[in-house]
Structure 1
């Protein structure tokens, strides 16, 4: 049976023993602090000894400063409150809380669980403890996009993985490893900027500790995967991991370049519908394609504890391959798609938003705002001819001093020459939209794709028009075909 997964086999396959590794980690941890405190005490002894004989010299003062640097790096750190929103109310998500509670109970986790919606394609879990270290509550972060891609069991497998770090018999190991690595990594990073060479041994030891402990932490990830597979099956667990890997860069790009900007403009657009449109988009605009490509999937560091997807899949189900599993959905756990979106907006936005479909977002929200931006200014399309786009593009390509002086942001700017060009070009591209709007074109927005201006069956992409102008391939005749000749010219 698939559910009868041998956890120890999985662990042995990865040549890691979390218990033995934790013992090594404890020894390294003790050595780290003994070395650090011993070095600090040795440095402090120098000025103290000199004081007993008179006045400390330069070496004594340097040793005192070095000791202070070490002790500052060792200071206890409070975990910062990043403004985590209040959890979902149990009465508003009874099915989801029941599902999570059943998984936790089956794995022997007795702590209270609070569920938060997350703006990422992932499931995370943090914890709170009493003053003596007893686990009091768990905070489960549930990524919204997972609800429209994963089945209920696939979502359960991800939740079970997170519970695996707190399961009976392992409750203190995972959190302790994470906290210890975070604390020592922060101390090592603090000392990395120090000018005192006496700190070098300590800093090197800290970095070595982080690298060595990564193996222990990754072994725990394999253990949690095996536990999830034992609860929900190997195929289900592999499919869940594949979907997360597939969706993470897509959702990150969608949220940053489509959803958040729409909310910033005051629109309450359909979240899930926009994401589906985004995923189905054919030719994506450059910044969106770049964001997807640059997503830090494979950016491994010494502090990264997650093995690669390939290794995780091979450990759970050898030979499973990397094929994309079919999509599913489990929005019913939050009462349906509409209720899930309502919960998301309640979580992450407390202002007044106007409901708007993606079909009408461009014409009803973006276009009027761009029109208002230039109305009455020197760039008002009623005054500045569209034909001057060629002149402005020439200046942007050379040295946009004239345009920069008129379009620069308020306050002191430290932008590079290239950044200044980009800033000016973005404003000029919006002015192109305003100019086409003044000539009867309507703005159309499709998530992930370039903005389009449409009139009587004719489509113009402002980004392509701008690129042609900057590339000096745009002709006055091409612009004249979009608008009648205007006599007023206030650009120069």
Structure 2
């Protein structure tokens, strides 16, 4: 009953948004009528006209906020692909099984996305009083990373929002949030004091509404968890709650490390691999290795405007639930990805449109091209510093590796070159050993970049896509063993380039195998 009363309270606040706007409009209209009826001359007439202009501006802001609410409400098109029962019969069968288990209508639409999320929506009518068309959205990463029991609990959780009536009132609540934020933003842009007063009224009301509506959203999530546990079992529901943050971290890592590897080059992986590579990475990092990607992420502290409770709280609530009267509906064992007929085709279909002039490189070529790009970036500051010492003119050609080593042998590294290396203002006054220790890592990386460029140009480096690790390049065995020591010697307080020159003089060795 408390939950229903809170929902009714949020709905009442939503109605109050309109009533407050109507009351303010009526008050301003009455005030303008009184002012218009009262005759004044000179300066008083000018003040009256200015005030009436301010009320008109405020009224326009209120009406725009109301219109923002009324024009919203249609189900937008998700950033994904719609799949019919003919496209994915096994997935649709699982969706219908969950709907039947909860006595709910199945959705009319099913969309697949590349998000680590699942959601439901309903095109309700009369502010949720009448049901409408339903839609279910499922992220393919969930199908890749969950087993069938965990996926069933996720689907049951989403259908719990249907069971509890969340989707019917949720659309109106979301529209209310958007309308109130829109209205507050309108008044925050105005500099007229009267509009700021009206804006402050709306800001206070919006804060009260948002606190109540987000608190209700958190309760709805806990209620949907109870529905999921009742159908799919508490163990499967808890396992899914633990698995989703891990998948979310893996998804973020994949996008930052693999999918966007070619961003500085304006290049992309092969068609179908932009998102398809996620399956390869997830398969190469089972269990704890995949979970390790989430270890460095600090959980977000709870906030008043969170839509979901913390995972720890949700797990504690699940553990506190009484034992069910009946055994949960068990799902078939195995990964949830088997519910997709052709996961690679689906992941390829999810890719955004790509301009025709964007090159698509194989993963190996992409690793090599990115390694060359990064090595060039690392080496450029050192090469420019050497060029400034040895040459004049802005168009001077940057020196090669041997010329840089010659400058080191001449004792110029810490007697001129380092002074021309870029450094932040906070380190501009460093001198002597402090300056050398500060700049040494940058010089080390620059010299390593020049070596990598040499080996890449000679075909002596091989790509390591390393789905289970970090993508990079493999160097010849002698270089792998001796490079760090040679670079340390070349960048010491008394630079010694002999070890590095010895490596350069060796016959071209075979690169390390991929």
Give the structure-1-normalised TM-score: 0.70
Three-state SS of the structure 2 residue aligned to 1:142 is strand
The secondary structure found in structure 1 opposite 2:51 is helix
2:89 alignment counterpart? 94
Aligned counterpart in structure 2 of residue 271 of structure 1, from 266, 278, 284: 278
Distance 1:85 1:150 in 2: 20
Unaligned runs of 5+ in 2: 40-44, 323-332, 378-382, 385-396, 406-412, 426-443, 507-514
Q: Do structure 1's residue 150 and structure 2's residue 155 form an aligned pair?
A: no
Kindly state the Cα deviation for residue 312 of structure 1 after the two structures are TM-superposed.
Answer: 0.9
Structure 1 334/48 Cα, relative in aligned 2: closer, same or farther at 3 Å?
A: same
Identify the match of residue 50 of structure 2 among 58, 62, 68: 58
CA drift of 1:480 comes to: 4.2
Aligned residue in 1 for 2:240 = 240
Structure 1: gaps of 5 or more residues = 1-15, 321-326, 400-424, 486-492
Evaluate the alpha carbon distance shift between residue 453 and residue 231 of structure 1 in structure 2; reply closer, same or farther with a 3 A threshold. same
Between stretches 106-115 and 126-135, larger displacement belongs to 126-135
Matches within 5 A, 1:480-491: 480=501, 483=504
Q: Deviations over 1:145-164 (max 9, x none)?
A: 22233221210111111111
Aligned partners of 2:463 and 2:474 also within 8 Å = yes
- State the Cα distance separating 1:310 from its structure 2 match: 1.2
User: CA contact under 8 A between 2:120 and 2:134: conserved in structure 1?
Assistant: yes
- 2-side partners of 1:305 and 1:110: how far apart? 25
Contact 1:433 1:453 in 2 (8 A): no
Asked if structure 2 preserves the Cα contact closer than 8 Å seen for 1:225 and 1:316, the reply is yes
| TM-score calculated relative to the size of structure 2 | 0.67
Are 2:473 and 1:452 aligned? yes
| Greater C-alpha Rg | 2
* Corresponding position: 1:49 with 2:69: no
Closer, same or farther: CA 61–354 of 1 in aligned 2, 3 Å: closer
Q: How far 1:208 sits from its partner (Å)?
A: 1.2
Q: 1:294 and 1:242, CA in 2 relative to 1: closer, same or farther beyond 3 A?
A: closer
Q: Which moved more, 1:101-110 or 1:238-247?
A: 101-110
1:442 corresponding residue in structure 2 = 462
Mark the CA change 1:454 to 1:245 in structure 2 (over 3 Å): closer, same or farther: same
Specify which structure has the bigger relative contact order, considering alpha-carbon pairs within 8 angstroms and separated by 6 or more residues.
1
Distance 1:481 1:280 in 2: 44
Could you tell me which residue of structure 1 aligns to residue 223 of structure 2? 223
Equivalent in the alignment of 1:419: none
Query: 2:79: which partner in 1?
Result: 84
Q: Is 2:204 aligned against 1:204?
A: yes
Q: Deviations over 1:63-108 (max 9, x none)?
A: 3323323333333254695762331243231100111122123333
Q: Counterpart of 1:24?
A: 9
Preserved CA contact (<8 Å) 1:250 1:292? no
Closer/same/farther in 2, CA of residues 62 and 130 from structure 1, 3 Å limit: closer
In the alignment, structure 1 residue 161 sits paired with structure 2 residue 157: yes
Kindly tell me: are residues 319 and 106 of structure 1, through their superposed partners in 2, closer, same or farther at Cα, counting changes over 3 Å? closer
Matched with 1:35 is 20
Whether the aligned pair in 2 keeps the contact of 1:109 and 1:168 (CA below 8 Å) is no
The residue aligned with 2:214 is: 214
1:148-196 per-residue CA deviation (whole Å, 9 max, x = no partner) reads 3322121011111111111276652344434433433443454455541
Distance 1:48 1:163, change over 3 A: same
SS at match of 1:267: coil
Partner Cα distance (2:145, 2:52) in 1: 63
Equivalent residues of 1:253, 1:292 under 8 A apart: no
Between the aligned partners of 1:169 and 1:455, the Cα distance in structure 2 is 63
The 8 Å contact of residues 108 and 168 in structure 1, kept in 2 or not, is answered as no
- Count how many residue pairs are aligned between Structure 1 and Structure 2: 421
Residue 254 to residue 344, structure 1, CA distance change in 2 (3 Å) = same
8 Å Cα contact 1:361-1:445 kept in structure 2:
no
Checking the alignment, whether the CA contact within 8 Å between 1:128 and 1:135 is kept in structure 2 is yes
Root mean square deviation, CA, Å: 4.6
Q: Does 1:348 align with 2:369?
A: no
Within 2, Cα distance between the matches of 1:461 and 1:330? 47
Tell me how far apart the structure 2 counterparts of residues 182 and 301 of structure 1 sit (CA, whole Å): 19
1:392 deviates by 8.6
- Supply the distance in 1 between the matched residues of 2:114 and 2:365 (Cα, whole angstroms): 25
- The CA deviation at 1:122 is 2.1
Contact 2:259 2:268 survives alignment (8 Å) = no
In the alignment, does 2:417 pair up with 1:397? no
The answer for the alignment partner of 1:362 in structure 2 is 367
Alpha-carbon contact 1:125-1:139 (below 8 Å) kept: yes
| Contact 1:164/1:224, CA 8 A, preserved across alignment | yes
Mark the CA change 1:127 to 1:252 in structure 2 (over 3 Å): closer, same or farther: farther
With over 3 angstroms needed to count, the CA separation of the structure-2 counterparts of 1:184 and 1:130, relative to structure 1, is same
Q: Does the aligned pair in 2 maintain the 1:185–1:210 contact within 8 Å?
A: no
Change beyond 3 A, Cα 1:122–1:170:
closer
